[in-house]
Structure 1
Amino acid sequence: MKIKAQISMVMNLDKCIGCHTCSITCKNVWTNRQGAEYMYFNNVETKPGIGYPKHWENQEKWKGGWELKNGRLQLRSGNKATRLAKLFYHPDQPEMDDYYEPWTYDYETLITSQRKNHQPIARPRSLITQKRMEIKWGPNWEDDLAAGESARQDYNLQNIAEDITLEFHDLFMKYLPRTCNHCLNPACVAACPSGAIYKRDEDGVVLVSQDGCRGWRHCVPACPYKKVYFNWKTNKAEKCIFCFPRLENGLPTVCADSCVGRLRYMGVLLYDMDKVKEAASTPDKGEIYHSMLDIILNPHDPEVIAAAKDAGIPANWLEAAQNSPVYKMVKEWQVALPLHVEYRTLPMVWYVPPLSPITQRAEADVYLPAVQEMRIPLSYIAELFAAGNVGVVEKVLQRLLDMRMVMRTQETGEKLSRKLEYELETYQAMYRLMGIAKYKDRFNIPAGLTGESQDKLRELQGSCGYNCPGGC
């Protein structure tokens, strides 16, 4: 057993209102500079839709993530020889049009215009070429347009056997916030020829060394979520850094801190590094989710605690893991699911699937309706969060329904008509965390570096060039 600690996040999609506050705060903090205009480390998509960049879920096109070939795990982009042949030219790169060409407006015309018979116009101007342009696409182009033509092109709809229509009376949509998943088995790390992308040992954050990056751009198509970007100004790869300077001070990421709907939760997970490859190599893609649960360890287990201490995990990290809201929702209650687990990267950003379209069914005190009766089909949610395993989604949504029924009966005095999966205290704890949790309950992040990071910092003292306390 090789125990590692991972900072992880859960998003409750029932609470997302699509305000994009998380995107704007992240944009202003991390990508507000030349060369990064088109980058959105955090974006909010409307589903169904083709997303950002366009059709990012189509791995037949982008060759992202991992696949099992002859029983062995390998990158979809090919083996080492195939990738070496693409070293100087990788044909599977998304282009600027797949994202959008960033623009501003010619405000100088409004300011300097002389008196005229007609109102002056601030025309759009490209931030890349500085020339006038026609706006055809943008990062939020599909916002709230579930009935648009792009919704019918959603890649997840192509994998569903049922005939799902998008007529007005059958219309459904939901918001999907996306950021880098800081995976346990990141394809971007494996694909980088120069070894510039690495996973931090102390907290699992995946970063790009700007000194080590040589601009090969193999990481961009290798990431199945398309959350690695190429800076056209610096010729370097960039991605979400999980706001690691904030994490080191015990603060959540900017996107989580600024979330209006309070739908994000952050905490520590302990996992067995020795089982990561085995979990990613699960033959049945519908069972990868269960394999992921198996490698997440119980921080209250005395054996796990002893092994974690032997591995050098500090006491404050162990305490944070024991009080982690992420562990409760992911492993203890099992109400959060990973996004596109079939990519086999083992993502560490989890989602509580939306329940709001079927809450009226709870009034009748029945189990989940059939797919044909639901506003958001179970099969569609399963394509997003369970590799098509509808049974997993059914169980998660039933737990959420049970939680609402328990809390309603406490107000009305009614009796529950069926046996529940968990104890009443468990559903009450779920309600407190998912419904009325305060800031300190949603975020439990240990401040400070781990012992190994502190040792590395001491080695750098006197030569690192930073004003570190007691050195440098």
Structure 2
Amino acid sequence: MRIRAQVAMVMNLDKCIGCHTCSVTCKQTWTNREGTEYVWFNNVETKPGIGYPKHYEDQDRWKGGWILDRKGRLTLRSGGRAKRLSRIFANPDLPSIDDYYEPATFDKDLLVSAPAGLTDTPVKRPRSALTGEPMAITWGANWEDSLGGQSGQDDPSLARMATKVKLEFEKTFMFHLPRICEHCLNPACVSACPSGAMYKRAEDGIVLVDQDRCRGWRMCVSACPYKKVYVNHATGKAEKCTLCFPRIEAGLPTICAETCVGRLRYLGIVLYDEDAVLAAASVPDPQDLLDAQRAVFLDPRDPGVERAARDAGMPDEWIEAAKLSPIRKLISEYRIALPLHPEYRTLPMVWYVPPLSPVLDAAGAAGRDDADADDVFHTIRDLRIPVEYLAELFTAGDTEAVAGVLMKLAAMRSYMRSRTLDGTVAQDLLDRIGMTAEQVEAMYRLLAVAKYDERYVIPAAHAKDAAALDAQAAGHDGCALDCEGGPGMSDPFHLSARP
């Protein structure tokens, strides 16, 4: 057993209002420079929808992630080393700028410098940020935000569902899905990189790009099934979400989590067995991948695990942070967080609590009591369309796993409502979801009213590792803040101020 620590994130989708504050602050911090006009390390998608870039979930087209070969061995969907090298100069599985969007700018100076006496009112017209030529804006990173799911018929996840579901999807609901790099335990981008520029940090599991080694082969873009690796067209090199590692090293949350209006993001440390990753990613049935990945995670309160972690040189601060981690609670203890597309077999480390609000709305619309657990449970079972869709996103189609999570969330709301109004304890309700009153109340506190230091449990870089971290940053120029073509902003991470 080889114990590793991983910085991970969980997002509670019930709280996301689609304000895009996370996207804007990430954009201003990391990709506000030439060559990254179209790049969004963090974006918020409206589901059902085709996403950004368009149809990124269609792996038959993009060849991202991993598959099992005829012998049951894990292999990249994009092919083995020989196949990738044979087309290293002409990779056909790359999104074009049309699949992302052509970024636009506006000649705002025209509005203030136009001469007086014009018969027509001056208008700022869109121009391409890439070519400077006039253009028509037809798509964007959050284009579907205003469509209310009306492009959902082209959603790859929806296309895999039954005909009845596809015809009646407009009767379900829409919700917002924030996305960043998954910082996977089994990252396909790292394995596909011919030059070894993509790497996963041993101390915290963050996946980064060494700009000195990157040669712009773009195999990482094809291999990433989430399409969260981009090419800087000014430098010709790959860039991606860094999980704001300078902030993480200082014990601060990522900029997207720090500025999240809905307080829906949770950050923390999980311990896992590196030796178990390959077996977990190789289970034959995709619907078994959720339990297989959960089994990779270790309990930091187990004396044997704690002793092994110390023997491996893990700092005590990291072990204590793992014990208090909200990520472990949501994923392994309460079991209400789910990974995005586990069937890609990358073992992603950004998980989601699925949205419950549409289920409660449907219960009321059906004339049922949305405060009654039995009525809500029946609605969850009967409301096959959204549960099936959520299952396509988070459990490789396993509707029972999603329904179980929604039932826990519904039971929590019903229990806390009764507990607050008249002080009663619905023991039968607790028995049905297999949780104790203490667990339900702790889950409610974490999801609803958790304080800053409860949502973000991040140990600062250990003092003895500080020199090594500085040396590593110096050796990987693309990760430094002051490199040529880098963000280069003055204290963009606000390391001098902790809320």
Give TM-score scaled by structure 2 length: 0.89
Instruction: Please tell me whether residue 26 in structure 1 is matched to residue 26 in structure 2.
Output: yes
Structure 2 counterpart of 1:382, one-letter code = A
2:145 alignment partner in structure 1: 143
2:387 alignment partner in structure 1: 378
1:11 is paired with a residue whose SS is: strand
1:233 is paired with a residue whose SS is: coil
Q: Distance in 2 between matches of 1:299 and 1:9?
A: 18
How many Å apart are 1:372 and its aligned residue?
A: 8.1
1:404 alignment partner in structure 2: 413
Structure 1 counterpart of 2:214, one-letter code = C
2:326 alignment partner in structure 1: 325
1:186 alignment partner in structure 2: 187
1:470 alignment partner in structure 2: none
1:305 is paired with a residue whose SS is: helix
1:221 is paired with a residue whose SS is: helix
| Selected match of 1:436 from 431, 449, 460 | 449
How many Å apart are 1:167 and its aligned residue?
A: 6.0
Cα 1:48–1:32 shift into 2, 3 Å: same
1:329 is paired with a residue whose SS is: helix
Q: Distance in 1 between matches of 2:137 and 2:69?
A: 42
The alignment's C-alpha RMSD in Å is 2.2
Structure 1 counterpart of 2:257, one-letter code = A
How many Å apart are 1:408 and its aligned residue?
A: 1.1
1:189 is paired with a residue whose SS is: helix
Instruction: Please tell me whether residue 336 in structure 1 is matched to residue 337 in structure 2.
Output: yes
Q: Distance in 1 between matches of 2:336 and 2:240?
A: 28
How many Å apart are 1:371 and its aligned residue?
A: 6.6
1:155 alignment partner in structure 2: 156
Asked whether the 8 Å contact 1:313–1:451 carries over to 2, the reply is no
Identify the structure with the greater helix proportion: 2
How many Å apart are 1:166 and its aligned residue?
A: 6.2
Paired residues for 1:295-310 under 5 Å:
295-310=296-311
Paired residues for 1:52-71 under 5 Å:
52-70=52-70, 71=72
Q: Distance in 1 between matches of 2:311 and 2:463?
A: 13
1:447 alignment partner in structure 2: 460
Instruction: Please tell me whether residue 316 in structure 1 is matched to residue 320 in structure 2.
Output: no
Q: Distance in 2 between matches of 1:83 and 1:197?
A: 16
1:122 alignment partner in structure 2: 124
How many Å apart are 1:317 and its aligned residue?
A: 0.3
How many Å apart are 1:363 and its aligned residue?
A: 2.1
Q: Percent identity?
A: 54
How many Å apart are 1:377 and its aligned residue?
A: 1.6
Cα 1:111–1:461 shift into 2, 3 Å: closer
How many Å apart are 1:298 and its aligned residue?
A: 0.3
Structure 1 counterpart of 2:20, one-letter code = H
Matched pairs, number: 465
After superposition, give the CA deviation of every residue in 1:131-189 in whole Å (9 maximum; x if it has no partner). Answer: 111111111110042342x2110111111125125669714100000000000000000
How many Å apart are 1:368 and its aligned residue?
A: 2.6
How many Å apart are 1:315 and its aligned residue?
A: 0.3
Instruction: Please tell me whether residue 422 in structure 1 is matched to residue 435 in structure 2.
Output: yes
1:387 alignment partner in structure 2: 396
1:235 alignment partner in structure 2: 236
1:87 alignment partner in structure 2: 88
Structure 2 counterpart of 1:435, one-letter code = A
Instruction: Please tell me whether residue 350 in structure 1 is matched to residue 358 in structure 2.
Output: no
Asked whether the 8 Å contact 2:315–2:462 carries over to 1, the reply is no
2:458 is paired with a residue whose SS is: coil
2:266 is paired with a residue whose SS is: strand
Asked whether the 8 Å contact 1:147–1:168 carries over to 2, the reply is no
After superposition, give the CA deviation of every residue in 1:8-38 in whole Å (9 maximum; x if it has no partner). Answer: 0000000000000000000000000000000
Asked whether the 8 Å contact 1:144–1:173 carries over to 2, the reply is no
Which stretches in structure 2 are left out of the alignment for 5+ residues? 364-368, 483-499
Structure 2 counterpart of 1:31, one-letter code = T
Structure 2 counterpart of 1:432, one-letter code = R
User: Which sits farther off after the overlay, 212-221 or 354-363?
Assistant: 354-363
How many Å apart are 1:412 and its aligned residue?
A: 2.8
Q: Distance in 2 between matches of 1:146 and 1:222?
A: 30
How many Å apart are 1:346 and its aligned residue?
A: 0.2
Q: Distance in 1 between matches of 2:472 and 2:181?
A: 30
How many Å apart are 1:461 and its aligned residue?
A: 10
1:350 is paired with a residue whose SS is: strand
Instruction: Please tell me whether residue 10 in structure 1 is matched to residue 48 in structure 2.
Output: no
Instruction: Please tell me whether residue 364 in structure 1 is matched to residue 372 in structure 2.
Output: yes
Asked whether the 8 Å contact 1:357–1:376 carries over to 2, the reply is no
Cα 1:147–1:326 shift into 2, 3 Å: closer
Q: Distance in 2 between matches of 1:337 and 1:168?
A: 22
1:101 alignment partner in structure 2: 102
1:270 is paired with a residue whose SS is: strand
Q: Distance in 1 between matches of 2:218 and 2:163?
A: 38
How many Å apart are 1:330 and its aligned residue?
A: 0.6
How many Å apart are 1:404 and its aligned residue?
A: 1.0
1:133 is paired with a residue whose SS is: coil
Q: Distance in 1 between matches of 2:169 and 2:355?
A: 20
2:143 is paired with a residue whose SS is: coil
Which stretches in structure 1 are left out of the alignment for 5+ residues? 468-472
Instruction: Please tell me whether residue 248 in structure 1 is matched to residue 256 in structure 2.
Output: no
How many Å apart are 1:86 and its aligned residue?
A: 1.1
Q: Distance in 2 between matches of 1:152 and 1:112?
A: 45
How many Å apart are 1:300 and its aligned residue?
A: 0.2
Cα 1:16–1:60 shift into 2, 3 Å: same
After superposition, give the CA deviation of every residue in 1:259-284 in whole Å (9 maximum; x if it has no partner). Answer: 00000000000000000000000100
How many Å apart are 1:456 and its aligned residue?
A: 6.4
How many Å apart are 1:109 and its aligned residue?
A: 1.8
Q: Distance in 1 between matches of 2:292 and 2:32?
A: 39
Cα 1:376–1:434 shift into 2, 3 Å: farther
Q: Distance in 2 between matches of 1:207 and 1:75?
A: 19
Q: Distance in 1 between matches of 2:197 and 2:463?
A: 22
After superposition, give the CA deviation of every residue in 1:215-265 in whole Å (9 maximum; x if it has no partner). Answer: 000000110000000011001000000000000000000000000000000
Q: Distance in 1 between matches of 2:323 and 2:381?
A: 41
Q: Distance in 1 between matches of 2:182 and 2:378?
A: 32
Q: Distance in 2 between matches of 1:449 and 1:67?
A: 38
Cα 1:48–1:331 shift into 2, 3 Å: same
Asked whether the 8 Å contact 2:317–2:462 carries over to 1, the reply is no
Cα 1:8–1:458 shift into 2, 3 Å: closer
2:491 alignment partner in structure 1: none
